[in-house]
Amino acid sequence: MKPNFYLMSILVGIFSLPVCFGSIAQTTPGVFVLGGIHQSHETAKYYTYERMGDIYQLLKPDILCVETEQKYVEDGSFRGTPYDFINFLIPLAQKEQTPIYGIDWWDNEQGEKWQELQRKAYNDTTLNQEINFIGGFFSLFNGYFKNKDFKEINSSYITRLWKAKSEFKYHIFNHYPEYAFITDFENERNDHIVENILKVIAQNSGKNILIAIGIDHKYYIEDKLEENGVIVYQVEELEQFAE
């Protein structure tokens, strides 16, 4: 493999993104995908757990979709919900009686296989160069996340970079039949998440919807929703979303 080639391709893709600060205001209801950074919130100077609550109050969504399964919303346990969302977002939504929908999907048997294969892949000496390259990306992301606020972290540029990281990972794993399941499972999960979001949108016509989910899913959700004709607001358009 030639990691430098992929890095150059990633950088070219990032800097070819259109600048959208001058985009026309949108008045049609849509969604904003808020990417959480899970445990990295704990070391972040600005994008903290508390900041997630501030963002919710700024956006004042009509609907909150969150990274948990719907059955755990219905029983009130919010089991498995990342701390990003359970500490401040969900309590605020409950206080304001904002409808909450769980959009995640998980299969225990497949999930255990996915976790085991990931552990194996990341310790596979034949993949050292590629795994170190991917790990380097995570280290760079964590350093960036520590000193930036949510607008920078949720920008289209970081989203595109995260997409490139994921596509590189899938490119590597798909070359090894033993690890191809990692790609299949992650895509299946993302597809179920998108399907669940589309159901929520269909049931709540004319509503602005905040989707709170791990940043690793953000690019996939945004791309698929736009393919389905959904207006996806970016950080430069938050004022229009919050109107």
pLDDT per residue as tens digits for the range 169-201: 999 999 999 999 999 999 999 999 999 999 999
Q: Which of the 8 DSSP states describes residue 24?
A: P
Give the pLDDT of residue 3: 47
In the chain, pLDDT over 90 holds for what percent of residues?
79
Q: How far lies 149's CA from each of 35, 41, 129, in Å?
A: 12, 10, 31
This prediction has a pTM of 0.86
Rounded to an integer, what distance in angstroms lies between the CA atom of residue 212 and that of residue 218?
A: 9
Average pLDDT taken over every residue of the chain: 88
For residue range 5-25, list pLDDT tens digits in order: 444 444 444 444 443 333 334
* Residue 240 clears pLDDT 80, i.e. is over it: yes
Rounded to an integer, what distance in angstroms lies between the CA atom of residue 187 and that of residue 171?
A: 13
Q: Which two tokens stand for residue 170?
A: 């899938």
Q: Which residues partner with 64 through β-bridges? A: 100, 210
Lowest mean pLDDT segment, chosen from 97-106, 137-146, 218-227: 137-146
Q: Mean per-residue pLDDT for 139-163?
A: 93
For residue range 199-219, list pLDDT tens digits in order: 999 999 999 999 999 999 999
For residue range 80-136, list pLDDT tens digits in order: 999 889 989 999 999 999 999 999 999 999 999 999 999 999 999 999 999 999 888
Position 26 confidence tier, pLDDT thresholds 50, 70, 90: very low
Q: Mean per-residue pLDDT for 156-162?
A: 94
